[in-house]
Chain A
Amino acid sequence: MRTFRFIWGEMQLIWKYGIVLLYIVFTLLYLFVLELLPQSAKSIAAIILVFTDPAAMGLFFMGAILLLEKGQRVHWALAVTPIKANEYILAKIVPLLCVALVAGAIISIAGNVANFSGCMLGIGIGSLLFSMASLWIATKTNSVNSFLIAVIPVEIGITLPALLSLFNVLHSDWWLIHPGVAAIRLMSTKSSGEWICLFSLLVWCAFFFLCCLRAVKRYFATMGGGKE
């Protein structure tokens, strides 16, 4: 119950931070862009849009939220409540996942994507991966500049191979080990490869979750003044 209450509190926070409103505007903007495109390009454009924005939103927004909250020292207070590191991670990633899924679903429907369920899975797991990668980096950085320096190579490293795979530049199945490629293949195809993509993404999720867990525990131990 405590975890649900914490997630609900974090949802209210992202509303207060204006992220929900921002994504209402972005979604309307993307719908307008899709409307301008020819029918044949809509599906692939929708996949690119949802992969590079709603799914990847956590990469920048998670870091921004964490850095803002670091400045307000709220993590000091959270570190001495009954919440555990795993609950903290869940409470941080689930609200952004919800926004990504709703915005992604609307854009996917408007783009008439062929594999809606695969697309939603790709958006969902992609959002979790991007958010956890960002959370991991943000616990280790103290300024917007150092966060951006660390996060931009991660974004390029995930999205570039994914986009190259979407346009068949990378077609070896070995690329399914790559989280970005696995996510975009899951979103764009309806084949037996779905299960491999899903397995690859779940392994990556578990890896990022464990990294975040370790990072958050260490980060919380530095709270409260004294020597850090």
Chain B
Amino acid sequence: MIDIQKLTFSYTKQPFIEDMSFSVGDGEIFGFLGPSGAGKSTIQKILIGMLPRYGGSVTVNGTEARNAGSAFYEQIGVDFEYPTLYEKLTARQNLRFFSSLYASKKLDIDALLASVGLLKDGDKKVSDYSKGMRSRLGFIKALIHNPILLFLDEPTSGLDPNNARIMKDCILAQKAKGVTVVLTTHNMEDAAELCDKVAFIVDGKVQALDQPHKLIMQRGAARLRYTWMEKNREQSGFCAMEQTAHDEQLQKLIAENRLTSIHSSEPTLGDIFMDVTGRKLQ
């Protein structure tokens, strides 16, 4: 669906994105992870045809991004991090307005509103909507023309756990339909749960690219944390999973039946990001 070869781009004379190459397969959820200013939004803008002065090749659904025209935009949906809605219009009027700009077959407005729990608020003005409601409406606005490629920028940002769950289920439903999703996020839990592949972007470069589970398994071994009581105080110890049989302390505690707890813990995608890039996501 997306093929980037030797991409270079800069806003100034200083190099920013240099020699970047990767591809995104059909029906994949692909995540861009990185701190603010890393180049995630710039890459997204290049992919959606808004920054045509790049070097190299960026092919999106068979179209070179710098040549993006009306037909290109019929096939992509973009949900930005911030609401992009007419406040004076109701949710239904907003969806009707934006759907009128597309020639392709539109999805049913009521079904879309119902899918994100906004059906009963469809005739409310957007100015009366909460942040979570605006995010959900913005998301279905990106779906109204039934795109085959979806760009989502921080889709769960600022949402309560319940609304974040609704949003994540909607994204997974799009994947189940065969839609390719490009996700830009700071949220490592979302990325680990949703993405088939993630790319760590730092200073305009791809520092790592793989399946989240593979990245976790490659970089960090799972550990065991165990606790026991000694002199009326709780003590704790750690050992690598593959060293369990050789950890004398642990063997002794098991033999004496003195363990009070034992847990396995894998590194998170956030830990891997810090490990790979030496940077923390903020």
| Same complex origin of A and B | yes
Q: Which residues of A contact B (CB under 8 A)?
A: 1-2, 5-6, 8-9, 12-13, 16-17, 69, 72-74, 76-84, 220-221, 223-227
**Stretch of B73-81, B207-215, B269-277 on the interface side:** B73-81
Decide if A9 touches B51 in the complex (CB within 8 Å).
no
Shortest Cβ distance from A73 into B: residue: B84
Decide if A227 touches B11 in the complex (CB within 8 Å).
yes
Contacts of A73 in B (CB 8 A): 80, 82-84
**Stretch of B37-45, B228-236, B250-258 on the interface side:** B37-45
Complex CA gap A8/B101 in Å reads 11
Contacts of B70 in A (CB 8 A): 82-84
Contacts of A6 in B (CB 8 A): 100-101
Shortest Cβ distance from B71 into A: residue: A82
Shortest Cβ distance from B11 into A: residue: A227
Q: Is B88 an interface residue (CB 8 A)?
A: yes
Shortest Cβ distance from A221 into B: residue: B50
B97 vs chain A, min Cβ distance (A): 5
Q: Is B89 an interface residue (CB 8 A)?
A: yes
A225 vs chain B, min Cβ distance (A): 4
Contacts of A81 in B (CB 8 A): 73, 98, 101-102
Pairs across A and B, CB under 8 Å, 6 listed: A2-B102, A5-B100, A16-B89, A72-B83, A77-B141, A225-B45
Complex CA gap A81/B40 in Å reads 21
Contacts of A72 in B (CB 8 A): 83-87
Complex CA gap A82/B5 in Å reads 26
Decide if B101 touches A2 in the complex (CB within 8 Å).
yes
B82 vs chain A, min Cβ distance (A): 6
Decide if B42 touches A17 in the complex (CB within 8 Å).
no
Decide if B84 touches A77 in the complex (CB within 8 Å).
yes
Decide if A13 touches B88 in the complex (CB within 8 Å).
yes
Shortest Cβ distance from B153 into A: residue: A225
Given pairs A74-B84, A77-B98, A225-B82, 12 additional interface contacts (CB within 8 A): A2-B102, A13-B88, A16-B86, A16-B89, A17-B88, A73-B80, A73-B82, A73-B84, A82-B103, A83-B101, A84-B70, A223-B50
Contact residue among B44, B69, B73 (Cβ-Cβ distance under 8 Å from A224): B44
Contacts of B48 in A (CB 8 A): 80, 224
Shortest Cβ distance from A81 into B: residue: B101
A140 vs chain B, min Cβ distance (A): 18
Complex CA gap A208/B165 in Å reads 49
Decide if A76 touches B103 in the complex (CB within 8 Å).
no
Contact residue among B50, B80, B86, B153 (Cβ-Cβ distance under 8 Å from A13): B86
Shortest Cβ distance from A227 into B: residue: B11
Contacts of B102 in A (CB 8 A): 2, 81-82
A214 vs chain B, min Cβ distance (A): 15
Complex CA gap A228/B78 in Å reads 18
Question: Which positions 102-132 of chain B face chain A at CB distance < 8 Å?
Answer: 102-103
Complex CA gap A172/B238 in Å reads 94
Decide if A221 touches B51 in the complex (CB within 8 Å).
yes
B240 vs chain A, min Cβ distance (A): 41
Decide if B98 touches A82 in the complex (CB within 8 Å).
no
A152 vs chain B, min Cβ distance (A): 27
Complex CA gap A81/B83 in Å reads 16
Decide if B86 touches A224 in the complex (CB within 8 Å).
no
Contacts of B78 in A (CB 8 A): 77, 80, 224
Complex CA gap A82/B74 in Å reads 6
Decide if A227 touches B74 in the complex (CB within 8 Å).
no
Decide if A224 touches B41 in the complex (CB within 8 Å).
yes
Contacts of A74 in B (CB 8 A): 84-86
Contacts of A12 in B (CB 8 A): 93, 97
The 9 closest A-B pairs by CB, nearest first: A226-B41, A82-B70, A77-B84, A5-B100, A80-B78, A82-B73, A225-B41, A81-B101, A76-B84
Shortest Cβ distance from A69 into B: residue: B86
Complex CA gap A2/B71 in Å reads 13
Complex CA gap A2/B104 in Å reads 11
Shortest Cβ distance from B37 into A: residue: A227
Shortest Cβ distance from B90 into A: residue: A16
Complex CA gap A2/B102 in Å reads 7
Complex CA gap A143/B41 in Å reads 25
Complex CA gap A221/B11 in Å reads 12
